[in-house]
Amino acid sequence: MKTWQSMNPATGMPVAEYPCLSRPELDEALDRSASAAPAWRARSMDDRGAILKRAAELLRKRSERLALLMTSEMGKPVAQSRAEVEKCAWVCEFYAEHGADFAATRPVATDASSSAVRYEPLGCVLAIMPWNFPLWQVFRFAAPVLMLGNVALLKHAPNVPGCALACEAIWRDAGAGDGVFQSLLVPVTEVERMIADSRVHAISVTGSERAGAAVASRAGVNLKPCLLELGGSDPFVVLSDCDIDEALTGAVTSRTLNNGQSCIAAKRFIIEDALYDEFVTALDARMRALVVGDPMDPETDLGPMARRDLVEHLHHQVTASVAAGARLRCGGGAPPGPGFFYLPTVLADVVPGMAAFDEETFGPVASCTRAEDTDHAVELANQTRFGLGASLWSRDPDPELISRLSAGHVAVNGIVKSDPRLPFGGIRNSGFGRELGREGMLAFANTKSVWVR
């Protein structure tokens, strides 16, 4: 029997082992999903909303257990794990409260006696989710999908199997019913087959460019809608008139949150020339001051990366950039001892053509680039194949700059973050479609026009 093994990235030691589903067991799960879909769709919005509220209650009740599980499987500081559980409860409550309004039939005046637009569930939505926010990514998908009346299947990342099963337990214990939400511990080789299966009607992916392209290709062949939330190399644009202390606080938070492993983390720090040297020196000092260590310790600022291969890839990007002319201000390697740690790192004088500028650096590495002026800063910010988020820091931001930044989300004097009240997603190689907000709930709806004489 094949198994999934979770490993503690702080120690490099195994945590637990979980059996994978066999091919017949996977077929049984797909049958349960197909059987559950009609009854779940037939339930009222009030009924589904009540289950979302119970899910929120259970998340809070189990918060400490879930937080420790997340930290043990992927290494984020435990305080951040607790905050993630609370955010999952929030998204459930948000859609329980607003979902009926978002999906309400919309009357439209035409030459008919009556006409309207209805928003109806598609059926079963397959979610392919990453390890970096092992609960939040799942619940921000599941809450709107289930509230609308779809059922859900989760193919989670193989290094967080405990979190995958914990997500399923929340929905089961909240009263969703057999087959409404299932976590499938299956190898990635089964994904293509699931996409092609007639019991699956749509796909949602949060992950890498490579994973998104592969899923979109298979979804296209099978004529099924998909939503892609992929990687990012978000610019953090610092103009010379900004509040430098606030900008530095935002820079360190955004670059090191989740141990630097976030698609919407600030990665390329683009700083106007007049402020460049001061900002880089101060950023260097603040990054050096971070406490790196046991993610279970509440005093720890930065825990380990999730896997050894991620450390090795990040280090290759850093060394390649230094070899190309970037200046290493601090960090630049792993500390001695066990676990998959990488020191907080600042690279100065990074320019296009270097790995730290052109690629997504998925770890605690801040890449600093000098901009001649505001126009040059925007030009550098947009010089990327990605387009997920962008952050702009200025005491007097020009509204035109927001329209000139090519991204799905622009934060002004704040860091980029997902929020249930706002649609979230990117452009270009960062994917397409939107999660969260009203748009996220309707992403997997059949938008049906009705015309009656």
Q: Which residues pair with 19 in a beta bridge?
A: 3
Residues catalogued as catalytic: 229, 263
**φ, ψ for residue 43, nearest 5 deg:** -70, 150
Q: Which residues pair with 391 in a beta bridge?
A: 236, 411
Q: Which of 173, 232, 219 is nearest to 427 (CA)?
A: 232
Q: Please give the Cα distance from 306 to 8 (Å, whole number).
A: 8
